Chain A
């Protein structure tokens, strides 16, 4: 027997030909080799791709074409990823934009998220993860706007916003007002990284933008109430150095659905 270990989840195809109405991806990266690797895989999996090597080029292409999702490198010559992000947002307010960032630049990630990016993918990335992120971003974008007090349900957690009621596996969970606000905000943004600053602003107001200790205390309480093992959370995950992320599918066996920042080794 060969001493190889097999991928978690085996190597069954991640997709079949029935990619819902072929997702159109705009691929913006100044490294041709990275575009090539992404293009090959994405095309094979049924995505259609358009490439741009600069932010300027991407904006030009976006003038005349529509896309389901944009993969945007943050470090590029020219106007760079951040400016491109802001201009793309103005051009296409609802298209999901996923930033390609580097490992150690947490500041960049936070800026991108607060500048309107939907998520970030840390280089070097696995394509399984990248594809999973693209699909989840597109799915969210295609999901019709939910009514503000429509019930929410993720894993064993149910929320009835109209009555501010939370239950886990049918058992009521008693939350304080702020705990509920945090949970509600994170669940309505499930699958996305929410920066500490964004969450603080949403729940407490912008003057609390930097009160990290505050937030942390409430999150700890919240975890005690909704997690089976608060020190090893399944729902309310920490996105290291960036913020929190509510798991979209907490019982997914495929670890690659989690952001790479949770698996980094630095």
Chain B
């Protein structure tokens, strides 16, 4: 499972696990559903057409085993694509702990990025909510910069409640910096 791979540090606490907003996965799954169903509806409508409209004079009833096979095959491939969409959605996540942010980016089945950003190095968390539906459903992109590593800036789109997420990260950053400062003072 994921947490065995991530290797949380001793006493590290997971504050929040975040995935992209439900609206995005709903739209993607709806598209998969339509891709699966629309050709079947077209076939059904062709069967309902009277002979005078059937220019090719093809009667699907005469090819029942073949059309059953084709429909089953099409549905199978559509379901597989739907599960691929769901897998990418579910395995693509942010793990916010009291020490770092772990960004798991599941781009494809064979393309997976895992980035770790320590809270004490983070600066400038920026939230963008753009568009009618994102404003209505409260989702948007969140980006942050890490000190001294311009190349390690990160941005995630379609995050739910980005302002709430920003507040959680900011609070965790402050707590982390205070803890590190305290440890530094004690050691002096």
Question: Real complex partners, A and B?
Answer: no
Which chain A residues have a beta carbon within 8 Å of chain B's beta carbons?
A: none
**B residues whose Cβ falls under 8 Å from a Cβ of A:** none
